Amino acid sequence: MNDTPGWTSPGSAPSDGQDGSGVPGPPSSADANGSTAQWSKDQPPADQWSPPTDRTTPPAPGQNWGTPPPNVHWGRPPAAKPGVVPLRPLGMGEILDGAVKTLRTYWRTVLAITVTVAVISQIADILAQRYLVPAPPEVNTDATPAEQLQQSVDSAQASLIALGPSLLVTMVASLVSAALLTVVISRAILGRPVSLGSAWQEARPRLLQLLGLTLLLAAMAVAIVTVGLLPGLLIGGAPGVALTFLGGLGATVAAVWLMIRFSLSSPALMLERRGVVPSLKRSAKLVRGSWWRIFGITLLTQLLIFLFAMIIAIPFTIIGIAVDGEGFSGLLSGTTTFGWPFLIITGIGGVITSAITYPISAGVTVLLYVDQRIRREALDLELARAAGLPGYGPTPGTSAVGG
C-alpha cells in the first residue's frame, strides 16, 4: 500500500482502495480493529485532481499533467554561445551567419583591415593597368590565321608579364588581410573584441610562414596543371587538342581536390602556430572524411561572393564607361584602353567589393576549421573554458583557438 493516500507515483501499481486513476474510492474492508472506516459523503469528483506544480518527473504513459512549469527544459540544454557562433558542430547556415555576424559586430576593426588592404591592392592594379599593360596590337585583317593566333598569344603573354607586380602586391595584401582577420575571428568566437594593433602584433610573426604556405600551394597547383597540359601541347594536332582537353580536365579536378584538402592549413598555421609542412598535414587530417562537405560550403561561399562582386562591379563599370569618353570609344573600336576616370571609378567599386568579401571568405575558412576541430577533438569544451563560462573548469592562460 502506498504511504500517501490519493497519490499514485508514475508507473506504480494502484494502492488498495484506488482504481489506478489516483482517485481514492470507498473502502472495501474493515480496518485492523474490525470497525468500518467512515468516509465523508462529500467526496471530490473523479478525474479532477490537480497535479503538483513543482513536479519534474515525466508522467506515466496515459497520464497528462498539462503545461509544464516555466523554466523547465526537457532534453539536452542549448549550447553555450559566448561569441558569434554556438559552441557545437555547426551547420552551413551557421558558418555563413557567423562570418557575416563577425563583420557586423566588429566592423570597425574588420573594415580598418579590409579597406586598407583593398585600397593598396586597387592602387597597385590601377597603376599596372595604366603604365605596365601594353596596348593591344591592331588586328591585321590581311594576316593569316596563324599570324593572328600568334598576335593574340603575344598580347596575352605581355599582359600577364605586365600584371606581375600588381598580382604580387595583391597577393601580399590578401595574405596580410587573411592573417589579421583570422585573429579577429578567433577572438569573435569567444566574444572578445580585438583592436587592429593587437591583431597585427599577434599575426606579424606568422606572416612569412603564411607567405611560404601560399606560394607552396600555388606552385603545387601550377605544377599539376602543367603536367596535365604538357603532353597534349607536345603532341600537337587533333590528337594533341583532345589530349590537352582531357589532361586539363583531369589536372583541374586534381588541383581542386588538393586545394580543398589543404584549405584549412592557413588557420592551422595561424592559430596552432605550426610550420608550413605540419600545417598541411594538419589540414589533411581535419578534412579527411569531410571533403565533400567542405567543398560544398566553400563552393557556395565563392558563388555568393562572385554574385555580390558582380552586383557591385557592373554598375561601377557602366558608370566608368559613361564618364570616360576614351574608354567608351575604345570599347566601340574593339580596344581595351581606358583612361583615368574609368580606372578610378572601377577601383572604388573594387574597394567596396573587397572590403565586404575579404572578411566573409576568411570567416568561412576559420569557422570551418573550428567546426572540424569541434567534431573531431571536442574543441568546444576548450573554447568554453577559454571564454570563462561557468561549469567548464578553470580559464586557461591563453584565449587563442589553437590547441
pLDDT at 15: 42
Task: Tell me the β-bridge partners of 24.
Answer: 18
d(CA 92, CA 85): 12
pLDDT on residue 96: 93
pLDDT of residue 322: 84
Write down the pLDDT at residue 176.
Answer: 86
What per-residue confidence (pLDDT) applies to 323? 83
Q: How far apart are CA 53 and CA 72, in angstroms?
A: 11
For 165, the grid coordinates are 607586380
User: In whole angstroms, how large is the CA radius of gyration of the chain?
Assistant: 34
pLDDT given at position 233: 81
For 388, phi and psi rounded to 5 degrees? 75, 25
Q: Classify residue 189 by its DSSP letter.
A: H
Structure confidence at residue 377 (pLDDT): 92
The predicted pLDDT at position 219 comes to 93
According to the model, what pLDDT value does residue 156 have? 65
Task: Work out the number of other CB atoms within 10 angstroms of the CB of residue 170.
Answer: 20
Side-chain-side CA neighbours of 403 within 13 Å: the count stands at 16
Asked whether the beta carbons of 325 and 319 are under 8 A apart, the reply is no
> 240-296, pLDDT tens digit by residue?
888 889 999 999 999 999 999 999 999 999 999 989 999 999 999 999 999 999 999
Decide: 356 and 113 in contact? Cβ < 8 Å: no
**How far apart are alpha carbons 99 and 90 in whole angstroms?**
12
CB 189 within 8 A of CB 83: yes
In this prediction, the residues of the chain whose per-residue pLDDT falls under 50 are: 1-33, 35-37, 47, 51, 53-55, 71-72, 398-400, 403
Grid cell of 26 as nine digits: 470507498
